[in-house]
Amino acid sequence: MGRVAIDNAGRGVGSSAIPPGWRQNPSAWSQRLPIVAVALVGFVIATYLALYQYGVFDTVWEPFFGDGSETVLNSKLSHVLPISDAALGAFGYLADAVSGVIGGRGRWRSMPWIVIVFGIAIGPLGLVSVLLVIAQPVLYGAFCTLCLASAVISLSMIPPAVDEVLASLQHLRRVRHSGGSVWRAFWGLRKE
């Protein structure tokens, strides 16, 4: 792989969408579409759990832990915010999916702002999922199967998203070192 020259605004010059020093493009559809698909599965699960929490369904599916899902989903922790934790998770997964499909193969360079939004949407959701999974047995002595599945989904999205965020941050650093405007590069604005 040849290196891509960088102009004064930090944009790659040439046809390669692969960041300098990388072997693959972290913004490639083959990298992002699986994240989007998994986020949509997470959205469906979280929406189902939220509908239970809001009384749309009388029962929640639980194949392994008896009444564990009901205990966890009806806990004070699940309702500490104005919206339930599952509804918040559904919004988070939707944000992951939407921010994952915005932009093309060169968005690590042309739209760093959406890559950073994508990373922020995925990273904190994964952290919150881990904390909620830890809270289940510690605070309530119970587990929720679909909550655990949601946590696995959240955590599985982090590594591929981190690659793209890293490529965008490296791009912005190259812009700064070349004397270009990091602010303009962050927003994908061309140098006039």
Q: Band of the pLDDT at 125, cuts 50, 70, 90? A: confident
The pLDDT tens digits for 2-43 are 344 444 444 444 447 899 999 999 999 999 999 999 999 999
Task: State mean pLDDT over 95-111.
Answer: 95
Nearest one of 42, 49, 72 to 133, comparing CA atoms: 72
Q: What is the mean pLDDT of residues 63-68?
A: 96
Helix 85-101 / helix 112-140 crossing angle, nearest 10 deg:
160
Task: Compute CA 78 distance to the chain's CA centroid, rounded to the nearest angstrom.
Answer: 21
Q: Which of 142, 146, 121, 132 is nearest to 60 (CA)?
A: 146
- DSSP code per residue over 104-163: -TTHHHH-HHHHHHHHHHHHHHHHHHHHHHHHHHHHHS---HHHHHHHHHHHHHHHHHHH
Question: Does residue 161 carry a pLDDT above 90?
Answer: yes
Report how far residue 8's alpha carbon sits from residue 67's, in angstroms, rounded to the nearest whole number: 61
Q: Which of 52-61, 89-98, 182-191 has the lowest mean pLDDT?
A: 182-191
| Confidence category of residue 133, pLDDT binned at 50, 70, 90 | confident
What pTM value is reported for the model?
Answer: 0.87
| Residue 129: CB atoms within 10 Å | 22
Domains for the chain: give ranges and CATH numbers.
Answer: 25-180 (1.20.1440.130)
Cβ proximity of 178 and 20 under 8 Å: no
**pLDDT-derived band of residue 83, with 50, 70 and 90 as boundaries?**
very high
